[in-house]
């Protein structure tokens, strides 16, 4: 069965172990509907966009920067760093950032990694 046609209550029970099951279930169903309507169910066309892929993914209802970065890294094998609350807290405590927001932490970590990435000849 297509997720976009799933009953929120049933999906909620399946994901309830992660808390907030009803809210997450609604978001998943709405995102699936959006992907079906906008991309004919094929997210690969978005993931292939390169730099524009991240902003395009975040247009999907319920998809924020962390989810977009996870998709880009884990599915599309694009160089990015998903950041969660723990990473934000650790980078702040280590003094690597002076602001506790997603984009600041992500940028500092991406810049740090790029400094150590071997350059091609």
| Distance (Å) of CA 36 to CA 9, 30, 42, 98, 116 | 21, 10, 7, 40, 40
pTM equals: 0.77
Residue 63: predicted pLDDT: 95
* b/e per residue 71-83 (b: at least 16 CB within 10 A): bbeeebebebbbb
| Distance (Å) of CA 119 to CA 79, 100, 115 | 15, 31, 9
Q: Could you read off the pLDDT tens digit of each residue along the chain, which spans 121 residues?
A: 488 888 888 887 777 665 666 788 888 899 999 999 999 999 998 999 977 999 999 999 999 999 999 999 999 999 899 999 999 999 999 999 999 999 999 999 999 888 877 665 4
Residue 20: predicted pLDDT: 67
The residues, any chain, with a CB within 8 Å of residue 75's CB and separated by 6 or more, are: 47
Residue 115: predicted pLDDT: 80
Residue 121: predicted pLDDT: 45
Residue 8: predicted pLDDT: 84
């Amino acid at each position: 069965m297509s997720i976009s046609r799933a009953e929120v209550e049933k999906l909620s029970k399946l994901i309830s172990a992660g808390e907030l099951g009803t809210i997450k279930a609604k978001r998943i169903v709405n995102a699936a509907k959006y992907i079906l309507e906008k991309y004919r169910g094929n997210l690969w066309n978005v993931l292939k966009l390169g730099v524009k892929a991240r902003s395009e993914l975040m247009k999907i209802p319920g998809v924020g920067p962390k989810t977009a970065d996870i998709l880009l890294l884990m599915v599309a094998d694009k160089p990015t760093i998903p950041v969660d609350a723990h990473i934000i807290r650790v980078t702040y405590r280590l003094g690597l950032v002076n602001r506790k927001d997603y984009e600041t932490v992500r940028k500092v970590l991406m810049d740090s990694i790029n400094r150590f990435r071997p350059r091609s000849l």
